[in-house]
Amino acid sequence: MATDPVRWTFDPRESWLARLVTYAPYGLLGGVALLALIGGVALIAFGAVDASVLAVLVVLALVGGPMSLLYLWLLVTYGSNGSKWLGQHTGAQITNRGVALSAVVGGLLIVAAITVAAELLAVFVTAVLVAVVVGSLFTTPVALEPRARRLTLGDDEGFGSPTVVGLENVTDVWRVPLGPLSRWRFVVLRRVRGNPVVVPVPDRHVETVERTLEAGLAATPTAEPKTAGTTRPMRIVLAAIGVGFLATAIGFATLAKQAERAAGGRAFVAVGYLVLFAVIALGYAGYESWLARRTTPSSDE
């Protein structure tokens, strides 16, 4: 078993799945900017611009248009202190060609979604947001120290503090192979104390990671089990709030179904948010209840 520390990152250059989650936000924002630019040029070219519209276009150009884009380009390229911000925080993994292609594809998807059904635009935006959240989990630098049975997610150069996992405190391992989708696989580690962590593992390091995990699972945990941070009344209130959000979402959906098509489309976003809040409240209440059941009844209150 290799004992030398190893480091890796979920690199977009090594996996199309990584490229997808990395460039998804650029596709959304770049697509919107591209369509806005094309729309403005079309208005000017076809003479559909009166004095009021021209004034609005001038304001947008000075505040949120090319000047802002130029400032953003300078900030990304050189940073506020002259450093290469893009290379520092992305490891030079994002290319200008990739950003441009993402903008074009994002613009086409936005047009297609609006053409087919307005609700699809909300689905597209939601998918991008999910990709951003999921991508943030998988693009974190990972360092493994087999001898010390220690795994570190993140580094001091990124945003936030790194997460250090003592593998002797891992109680269970879930492996999610991607098969032909990617040369990576995802490993979910459940810990004695602390939330589960998701670790992207490239195929070239699978053997080292597996052997280190086996050694950690066989070791004696050094951390105390995590206990519930809420009391039973608090969990009941959380569950009631979640049920209330869910009932309100059902009511909105019922009214939207009975209303005209435009009203139904506007209610779609509200229903989505209500369901999201319900899932968060009910999920947290259920998780805390599960933690409470692992402890003695006297420590529950």
What is the percent of the chain where pLDDT is above 90? 8
State the pLDDT at residue 2: 59
Average pLDDT rounded to a whole number, residues 92-121: 80
Averaged pLDDT score across all residues of the chain: 75
Flag whether pLDDT at 64 surpasses 80: no
Cα 76 from Cα 228, distance rounded (Å)? 43
Dmax of the chain from CA atoms?
Answer: 77
Q: Is residue 295 within a helix (H) or strand (E), and if so which, with residue range?
A: none
Single pTM value for the model: 0.54
State the pLDDT at residue 17: 72
Cα 8 from Cα 143, distance rounded (Å)? 7
Token couple for 284: 């947290």
Flag whether pLDDT at 66 surpasses 80: no
State the pLDDT at residue 280: 93
| CA-closest candidate to residue 6, choices 157, 267, 199, 237 | 199
Cα 9 from Cα 202, distance rounded (Å)? 9
Count CA atoms within 13 Å of residue 208 on its CB side: 20
Token couple for 77: 């390229």
Cα 200 from Cα 184, distance rounded (Å)? 7
Query: Tell me: the pLDDT tens digits for 193-215?
Result: 777 888 888 888 888 888 998 88
| Strand segments (E) across the chain | 6-8, 142-145, 150-153, 163-166, 170-177, 184-191, 197-202
Cα 222 from Cα 215, distance rounded (Å)? 14
Count CA atoms within 13 Å of residue 81 on its CB side: 2
